[in-house]
Amino acid sequence: MVNQAKIEEIVAETMASNADLQGIIICDAKGKVLFGHTITGGIKHSDVADLAVKIAANSSQLAAGLDKGGLKEVSIASDHGFVIILGDVKIVMAAVAGEGARESMGLLRMALRRSLLSILGAK
C-alpha cells in the first residue's frame, strides 16, 4: 500500500507550489479517501471521492469503447473553476482549482500528473 505520510507530503508540496489549487483528494479506485486537503465549503471528502471515481470509471469506459486507450485525465470546467481528475488502476486524484487557473491549466495538469506518479512510486 501507499505510504500515508508520503501522500500528505506530496499533496502539501503540490498545493504550496500551485496557488490556483484549492484542494486535492486522493482515494483508492473504490472511492475510499486516503487523504484530503482543503476542499472548501463544508464539502465531504468522501462525497468528492465517490463522484471522482464514478467519473473516472465512466470516462475510462468511453475512451476504451472509442478505442482511444486508457484514461489519463478528465478536466471539468465550471462557472467558478475547474476539477481535474487523474487516475490509475490503484489511485484516483481529484484536484479543485479556482477561476484564475484558466491560464495555467497546462502547468497544473503537469504538476498533478507528477504528483500522482510520485504517490504511486512512494512505498
Greater model confidence, 95 or 2: 95
Percent of the chain with pLDDT over 70: 98
pLDDT tens digits, one per residue of 25-65: 999 999 999 999 877 778 899 999 999 999 999 999 999 99
Greater model confidence, 13 or 38: 13
Angle at 34 between CA 93 and CA 31, to 5 degrees: 65
Q: How confident is the model at residue 89, as a pLDDT?
A: 77
Environment class of 54 (CB within 10 Å of its CB; exposed 0-12, middle 13-18, buried 19+)? exposed
- Asked whether the CA dihedral 78, 84, 87, 91 is positive or negative, the reply is negative
Mean pLDDT of 11-38: 92
**Residues 77-115, buried b or exposed e (16+ Cβ, 10 A)?**
eeeebbbbbbbbeebbbbbbbeeebeeeeeebbebbeeb
Cell (9 digits) for 110: 503537469
Per-residue pLDDT for 123 more than 70?
A: no
Per-residue pLDDT for 122 more than 80?
A: no
Q: How confident is the model at residue 4, as a pLDDT?
A: 87
In 1-123 the beta strands, taken as DSSP E runs, fall at: 21-28, 33-37, 73-78, 81-87, 91-98
What pTM was estimated for this model as a whole?
0.89
Confidence tier at 1 by pLDDT (50, 70, 90): low
Domains of the chain: 4-121 (3.30.450.30)
DSSP assignments along 18-30, one per residue: -TTEEEEEEEETT
Write the Ramachandran bin of 86: left for phi over 0, alpha for psi from -120 to 50, otherwise beta: beta
Q: How confident is the model at residue 79, as a pLDDT?
A: 93
